[in-house]
Structure 1
Amino acid sequence: MKNIVIFNQGYLPATSYGGPVVSITNIVTELNENFNFYIICTAYELDGINQLPDIILDKWNSGNNGEQILYLSHVNNNFSFIKKSLFQIESIDLIYVNSFFNAKQLFYGYKVSKAFNCPFIIAPRGELEENALKIKSYKKKPYVFIMKRILNKNVYYQSTSELEGNNIMKILDVKNFNVLDLPNLPSIPQSINISKYNKKSNEIKMCFISRIQVKKNLVFALECLYKVSSEIKITFDIYGTIENEAYWKQCLKLIDKMPSNVIVNYNGVVSRDKIFETFSRYDLFFFPTLSENYGHVIGEALYASCPILISDQTPWTDINDTYGGRAYSLDGKNKFVDYIEEIAMSSLTSMNIIKNSAKKFVVNKSDIENKKNKYIKIFNELMI
């Protein structure tokens, strides 16, 4: 089989990197019978301090899905060591970098592709979307300017949607034949341990599961809770890595001033093996994100039969055609508040209909076999 080397900042068993790790895990899980995968990542959580458990530093480790993983220590996180480690592999047929704005791994991937004379794919993962580019734009604009001049015409870019493809071509001056139409592969649970579900009228249990940073828009969610009727009892559980301490302090100020009918809890990070079970306990996943090119966590909520309340800045806006949730513009909070109240007032019978609709929607949308075949076809064409 052909050998594919993937560069990603972190990888399992890390818990703090969010969607990018899920994207890579799903590629490996679904395509491991067609390709050999070699993952190169750091040996630490996102903070760069906490070392991952049960790994061997700076050597190839076997993953749960047949992949080989090189967990780099701080000392050996350099191109010379990576190149030396890759010589242990019989052949390198494709390089895949899971980020555009991670300069270090982009440099490694580009240099390796040159050294081994193989195709090079960059997956921006929504980093070039309008709202994403606005965050720290003073850093991103000069970076884009420089990279457009360094990367040559033989670089390919993964587009997971028509919108992302257009952004890649526009912002990076890339021709359409260098843009690969490869939609995200969804997280599909083998089975879900679901606790007995119950629902009381005028009560709602909501969750927010994501990294805590500006882009995920937790402040907006908390501000909406202030506007919900005082007659409704709300439990809002927050899960995720605190990536931006200053932003989390803004959230804490809002949490401290919540009205008496609202209880907000911070519950740390959900492990990957508990994500579906966790979602199954809630009436609603509230995620008014500023931008997602996919949003694995949205699909995971739906697979767990948890209705969603999200912004319209994701590819999941067709949820509005079902009973399984809503996607609204971030121009105002009233629609979000109204939907929270609607779910809160729903009976157990109504909620079961809504939950079933959520699950049915994502199953129909996933289309996993066609997506897998696209990856297999395009990867094989590049590696001829």
Structure 2
Amino acid sequence: MSEGQGGAVRRVTGRAESAPLSVLMTYNFFEPGFRAGGPIRSIARLVDSCSEQVSVTLVTGDRDLGEPAPYPGLSGAWLDRGQARVFYLDPRRPRHWWTLWRTVRARRFDLLYVNSLWSTYSLVPILAARLGLLRVPRVMIAPRGEFSPAALALGARRKRIFLRWWIHVLRSGHVEWHAGSQLEADAIRRVLPWADVTVRANQAGLPAEPIPPDASGSEARLVFVGRISPMKNVDLLLTALALTSTPIRLDLFGPAEDPVYWSRCQQLIEALPPTVRCTYHGPLAPDLVRETFAGYDAFAMPTRGENFGHVIAESLSASCPVVCSDRTPWSDVLHDGGGVVLRDLTAPALAAELERIARLSPEQRLRARRTAGAAYRRWAAARDDSNILDQVRVRLQGAGDPLRPSRKPARAHAPAAPRD
């Protein structure tokens, strides 16, 4: 039997045939945007690598992070992308909402997959599903690192108040969580002990072989690629560089999304000693990231927390060692030769490591880059690049009826919310 406009013949229990898993996905940003960093690339890979048994409808914003103008020709439009359909929404335009509503209201979806806990692009569809305005029986939330202690500490009071109310909405239906690593799963359960969490690493979509390194020069070349934001800890990197005495070059790539924070970073750059050459190059297009990393001796990333860290994979794939905090899923790979893990995330500790790199001979830095490439090769050979949406499809169809919830929601209770 059929399911209204845009519907498909669905599985009948006891038969081998089944319709594709129909997924409504949301996130503020998507390609051709790139300023929001790794989540865009992870979501693009998720959409593009689904099997033919998964049908994705993605709703996203019509402009890039921090950009006042929409993507040319995409605002308010549907775009076919392989098996998926993408709608570029301007939330301020009622006509866009009407165009979107006419399409999604006419369909029955098997899964609502949202990429954030706090975003309007998550809150609105979850509420619509709970109120019966969207026909979708289950929700999967990918918080994309929002439950890390450092992320929760940003605006902790507001988040704590919000969670006390929002928790009851989340527990009123069938909600699952997608963690990009065990580290993120543990962070989710610290706040929501009852959470039903599936751990599946984000798909990197990178080649198996690293870019071979070129010879290093006399001056140590460091690079930072990412959002210039408090979570990435760029100010700590600059503070550490001020404590070094050996010649070092640092190039910064990424959008400066917080004007106040960027102003502080600029002040730190101006105060650097003459032995440090620091240059800000602005945002870096995704197709240039790997070849950019290939020109440096190390990627300095004292991040406060990553649920995956796509940019770390890109650095290693270019044979560029990573100097990183221990708040990412990459510690084992970095210990295996991919770089350095900082457990003491302080300016003196980071400065000591940067000074050590700066004092290496060109031959030693080249050897370290080759070792990083080898560590990436081992990681790439062992990684599981299966798609989380196909995993959900197989699990639901294995239960006999892809529309049947697998468990009853538990009673609500107050979460362990972040402290101020």
Distance 1:80 1:174, change over 3 A: farther
Residue identity in the other structure for 2:225: I
Offset of residue 107 of structure 1? 2.0
Residue in 2 aligned with 1:316? 330
Name whichever of 42-51 and 268-277 sits farther off: 42-51
1:214 is matched with: 230
Cα distance change, pair 359–5 in 1 and its aligned pair in 2 (3 A): farther
> What residue number does 2:190 align with?
170
Structure 1 pair 369–283 and aligned structure 2 pair: CA distance change class (3 A) = closer
Question: Based on CA coordinates, which of the two structures has the bigger radius of gyration?
Answer: 2
Instruction: Provide the residue aligned with 1:301 in structure 2.
Output: 315
* CA deviations over 1:247-296 (Å, ceiling 9, x no partner): 00100111111111111111011111111111111111111011111111
Where does residue 349 of structure 2 map in the other structure? 335
Deviation at 1:317, TM superposition (A): 1.4
- Residue 96 of structure 1 corresponds to 113
User: Shift of residue 199 of structure 1?
Assistant: 1.6
Rounded to whole Å, the distance in 2 between the matches of 1:150 and 1:78 is 26
Shift of 1:61: 0.7
Question: How far apart are residue 20 of structure 1 and its match?
Answer: 1.5
Amino acid at match of 1:71: Y
Q: Give the conservation status (yes or no) of the 8 Å contact 2:220–2:358.
A: yes
Shift of 1:316: 1.2
CA deviations over 1:232-254 (Å, ceiling 9, x no partner): 32111111111110000100111
Q: Is the 8 Å Cα contact of residues 295 and 314 (structure 1) preserved in structure 2?
A: yes
Contact 2:301 2:323 in 1 (8 A): yes
Q: How far 1:362 moved relative to its partner?
A: 2.6
Aligned counterpart, 1:39: 58
The letter for the 1-side match of 2:191 is I
Residues 358 and 336 of structure 1, relative CA distance in 2, 3 Å threshold: same
CA shift at 1:379, angstroms?
3.4
Matching residue of 1:188: 206
Q: Is the 8 A contact 2:337 2:375 kept in 1?
A: no
User: Distance in 2 between the 1:192 and 1:116 partners?
Assistant: 45
Aligned partner of 2:390 among 361, 371, 376: 376
Q: Shift of residue 150 of structure 1? A: 1.4
Note the aligned Cα RMSD (angstroms): 2.5
Q: Distance in 2 between matches of 1:361 and 1:221?
A: 24
- Work out whether residues 287 and 311 of structure 1, in 8 Å CA contact, stay in contact via their aligned partners in 2: yes
Q: Is the 8 A contact 1:42 1:77 kept in 2?
A: no
Which residue in 1 is equivalent to 2:15?
Answer: none
Shift of 1:78: 7.1
More off after superposition, 256-265 vs 313-322: 313-322
Number of residues paired by the alignment? 375
Contact kept? 2:24, 2:58, Cα under 8 Å: yes
Alignment of 1:121-270 (within 5 A): 121-151=140-170, 152-175=172-195, 178-189=196-207, 197-201=214-218, 203-229=219-245, 232-270=246-284
Partner Cα distance (2:21, 2:345) in 1: 48
Pair 1:7-2:23 in alignment: no
Deviation at 1:111, TM superposition (A): 1.8
SS in 2 for 1:185: coil
Q: Deviations over 1:182-236 (max 9, x none)?
A: 2222241488887x833234x111111111111110000001111112xx32111
Q: Does 1:29 align with 2:48?
A: yes
Matching residue's letter, 1:24: I
TM-score, normalised to structure 1's length? 0.89
Q: Is the 8 Å Cα contact of residues 238 and 264 (structure 1) preserved in structure 2?
A: yes
Q: Tell me, in whole angstroms, the C-alpha distance in 2 between the residues paired with 1:121 and 1:77.
A: 28
Q: Which moved more, 1:339-348 or 1:283-292?
A: 339-348
Paired with 1:23 and 1:41, the residues of 2 have a C-alpha distance of: 14
Mapped to 1, the partners of 2:116 and 2:225 lie a distance apart of 22
SS of residue paired to 1:339: helix
Task: Identify the match of residue 291 of structure 1 among 297, 305, 313.
Answer: 305
User: Could you say if the C-alpha distance between residues 68 and 106 of structure 1 is closer, same or farther in structure 2, counting changes exceeding 3 Å?
Assistant: same
The answer to whether the 8 Å contact 2:325/2:345 transfers is no
Task: Report the structure, 1 or 2, having the larger helix content.
Answer: 1
Match of 2:102 in 1: 84
Unpaired stretches in structure 2, ≥5 consecutive residues = 1-19, 403-420
Q: Which amino acid aligns with 2:331?
A: T
- The normalised TM-score by structure 2 is 0.82
